Every structure is written in C-alpha cells, then in structure tokens.
Amino acid sequence: MAKPATIKIRLNSTADTGFFYVTKKNPRNMTEKMVKRKYDPIAKKHVEFKEGKIK
C-alpha cells in the first residue's frame, strides 16, 4: 500500500491561548512549515497559527 498524499497537521495559536485547528497538507508540494492567519475565539481576534505535530 502507498502512503497517503496528505498528512494531518495541527495549527497552534501564537497568542498562547492553547487553541488549535486541525487541517491537512501535502508535504510533497509544501515542504516548509505552514503558517496561516485565522480567528482565535479565546483571544477574540485574528492571529497567526503555526504548524505543529499531532500527538
């Protein structure tokens, strides 16, 4: 069986609230760590979310 093309990653909030999103990415196309600007409901504003590992 072949490995799947996408892997699950965790986007951790840089506002240190502990909030995170879970998403998928294709590591063959996107080799660097993913950084997205998304809404953090605990901080009640848009902040940067950086890629981390799912435990």
Tell me the pLDDT tens digit for each residue of 7-49.
999 999 999 999 999 999 999 999 999 999 999 999 999 999 9
Say what the pLDDT of residue 4 is.
Answer: 87
- Kindly list the domain boundaries of the chain, sorted by start residue: 7-52
CB 37 within 8 A of CB 47: yes
Say what the pLDDT of residue 50 is.
Answer: 97
Average pLDDT over residues 4-9: 92
State which CATH number among 3.90.1150.10, 2.20.28.120, 2.40.30.30, 2.30.30.100 fits the domain covering 7-52.
2.20.28.120
Place of tokens 């953090």: 40
Place of tokens 């892997």: 7
CB 9 within 8 A of CB 21: no
pTM of the model: 0.84
Residue 53 or 15, more confident: 15
